[in-house]
Amino acid sequence: MATTLTPVADDSAFSEFLAKETSKGLLRFTTAGSVDDGKSTLIGRLLYDSRSVYDDQLESVTKASAGRNAGAIDFSLLTDGLRAEREQGITIDVAYRYFATPKRKFIIADTPGHEQYTRNMVTGASTAELAIVLVDARKGVLTQSRRHAYIAGLLGIERLVVAVNKMDLVGYDQATFQQIETDFLRILESFPQIQAYFVPVSALAGDNIVTRSANMPWFTGESLLEHLETVQVGTRAQDAPFRFPVQRVVRPNLDFRGYAGTVVSGRVSVGDRITILPSGRQTTIARIVTFDGDIESAETGAAVTLTLAEEIDLSRGDMIVTAEHLAEKAHSLETTLVWLNEKAAQVGKRYRFKQASRMDWATLKQVQYRLNINTLEHEQEQTLEMNAIGNVVVETARATAFDAYQTNRATGSFILIDPATNATVAAGMILQAAASETSHRLTEVTCSLEDGVLRIANEQGFDVKIGAEGMKVTDPEALDALRHFLERLRIQPFDADKTDWEI
């Protein structure tokens, strides 16, 4: 874009440094620990030692520290956000922190480790590629360590760092560290998909945080930061089959029809044979369009616009996948739900169901079991309270195209929204199609003629009106009613799961 407004870049020696700076990688990690494990101190230390804390912020926490029982700088205050919790000295929500080294930029999802805050840990872990679990060297492996490992595994985290903290308080004792490593490895036997790295640290004293500690010459591994800078992540999505949930149909003029979205796994190239789900239609990729010009192929994480070789009717919520490896398709799904809301899960109730870019309705059919997060035992329960985790059969109104969450985070995850309050009430991970899968679910449909307008309604009261001016459908629910009605008449007028009817 030629413009007089564009600043002119110079070519100082600093430009070389900049070229490197603008091409570093990104690691998203989460931290879990109990209230006194020193997690806030650890994060404060990482921010401070990487010079991500400014002097004025430091001054303001040094001032604040004077009123609490803390040393010269209370690192934990750097990460405490809201006033109310600063006063209580406890963090109650997920906070995001940022720091960077010459090798990587880091996004930390800092989650409180208190027992009742499973939902925060789950939220933080959902976007993380790696989790740091803190263990107090004086206390050893506790029940919550198992909980942290379980949640990391449940949310599909591939890498775990076990930071054995407060080593200064156990005289930097090697045997203590080794015992904790042994105990923790025993827990991890149940989670074979997790790779773990153990590091003995003192967040307060800075041992093995940025540089290797002279106090623990027996430890020959990388410091915590060295490990974070080099550990390989993100390969699972890159190696998975191509998936592209359609976010928007882009149609600026009659000559262009494209589909905007993000490549959530695998890669796509011009000419690739693709299938559209749930309709099952096939075609090939014609163009991959971006603001910076067309590209030949797009990899995992790229936000692009695809055009297809043939005009196929598809809309937001559909998924474009490689024809060589389709996603699964089902109405009835076996899922793991984490309940996030004070109002407990209700079997039989309908919730809004959002998976990737698709909004649908889902009914909770059956709670198969609730998981005891401390013993990992299955408990018989009819409901899930806030912070409970359980396996639940969920039935969606339209067919859901998905992959199992453990093979594809982006296409195997969903949230449930309470239709009355609009609160996000659950996080869901799809395990597989439920055994009781049925292809047709008929709900009660009523049909009436009012002033020349044919009105079709289902039990939820959503309706479809067909009159002289055409058909008006404003909600997927209404479309369901119409579909069920027509199914009863044994008419198959609908093209797959099309939803955006406007006639």
Partner 1 sequence: MSVRTHLQQLEAESIHIMREVAAECQRPVLLYSIGKDSSVLLRLAQKAFHPGPIPFPLLHIDTTYKFKEMIDFRDKYTAEIGAKLIVHTNRAAISEGANPFAWGTQRCCGGLKTAALLEGLRQGGYDAAIGGARRDEERSRAKERVFSFRDTRGQWDPRNQRPELWNIFNTRIHPGESLRVFPLSNWTEIDVWQYIYAENIPIVPLYFAKLRPMLVRGESLMPIEQPFVPRLPGEEPQMVMCRMRSLGCSPCTGAIYSDADTLPKIIEELVGMRRSERQNRVIDHDQDGSMEIKKQEGYF
If the CB atoms of residues 52 and 432 are measured against partner 1, the closer one turns out to be 52
**Any contact of residue 260 with partner 1 (CB under 8 A)?**
yes
Nearest distance, CB of residue 28 and partner 1, angstroms: 9
At residue 395's C-alpha, the angle toward residues 371 and 454, to 5°, is: 155
**What residues numbered 412-471 form the site for partner 1, per CB under 8 A?**
413-415, 417, 422-424, 427
**Any contact of residue 66 with partner 1 (CB under 8 A)?**
no
Residue 251: how many other CB atoms lie within 10 Å = 11
If the CB atoms of residues 21 and 377 are measured against partner 1, the closer one turns out to be 21
223 SS3 class: coil
If the CB atoms of residues 160 and 237 are measured against partner 1, the closer one turns out to be 237
Instruction: Single out the residue of 229, 299, 313, 487 in contact with partner 1 (rule: CB under 8 A).
Output: 299
CA dihedral 197, 200, 206, 212 (to 10 degrees): -70
**Any contact of residue 354 with partner 1 (CB under 8 A)?**
yes
If the CB atoms of residues 111 and 458 are measured against partner 1, the closer one turns out to be 111
DSSP 422-442: --EEEEEEEEEE-TT--S---
Residue 386: how many other CB atoms lie within 10 Å = 16
Asked whether 295 and 286 are in contact (CB, 8 A), the reply is no
Q: From CA 25, how far away is CA 15, in angstroms rounded?
A: 18
If the CB atoms of residues 162 and 373 are measured against partner 1, the closer one turns out to be 373
Q: From CA 249, how far away is CA 356, in angstroms rounded?
A: 15
Asked whether 191 and 151 are in contact (CB, 8 A), the reply is no
449 SS3 class: strand
**What residues numbered 374-413 form the site for partner 1, per CB under 8 A?**
409-410, 413
Chain CA centroid to CA 109, Å? 12
- Segment interacting with partner 1 (CB under 8 A) among 68-76, 121-129, 179-187, 478-486: 121-129
If the CB atoms of residues 158 and 168 are measured against partner 1, the closer one turns out to be 158
Query: How many residues form the binding site for partner 1 (CB under 8 A)?
Result: 90
If the CB atoms of residues 199 and 425 are measured against partner 1, the closer one turns out to be 425
Instruction: Single out the residue of 303, 442, 453, 491 in contact with partner 1 (rule: CB under 8 A).
Output: 303
**What residues numbered 271-290 form the site for partner 1, per CB under 8 A?**
289-290
**Any contact of residue 96 with partner 1 (CB under 8 A)?**
yes
**What residues numbered 187-206 form the site for partner 1, per CB under 8 A?**
none
Instruction: Single out the residue of 80, 272, 395, 497 in contact with partner 1 (rule: CB under 8 A).
Output: 80
Asked whether 410 and 401 are in contact (CB, 8 A), the reply is no
Q: From CA 291, how far away is CA 303, in angstroms rounded?
A: 11
**Any contact of residue 10 with partner 1 (CB under 8 A)?**
yes
**Any contact of residue 82 with partner 1 (CB under 8 A)?**
yes
DSSP letter, residue 212: -
- Segment interacting with partner 1 (CB under 8 A) among 122-130, 201-209, 450-458, 471-479: 122-130
**What residues numbered 12-31 form the site for partner 1, per CB under 8 A?**
12, 14-15, 17-18, 21-26
- Segment interacting with partner 1 (CB under 8 A) among 98-106, 170-178, 182-190, 395-403: 98-106
If the CB atoms of residues 17 and 218 are measured against partner 1, the closer one turns out to be 17
Q: Side by side, which strands form the sheet with 470-472?
A: 445-450, 453-458, 463-467, 470-472
- Kindly state the helix (H) or strand (E) to which residue 182 belongs, with its residue range: helix 174-188
Where residue 12 falls (left for φ over 0; alpha for ψ -120 to 50; beta otherwise) is: beta
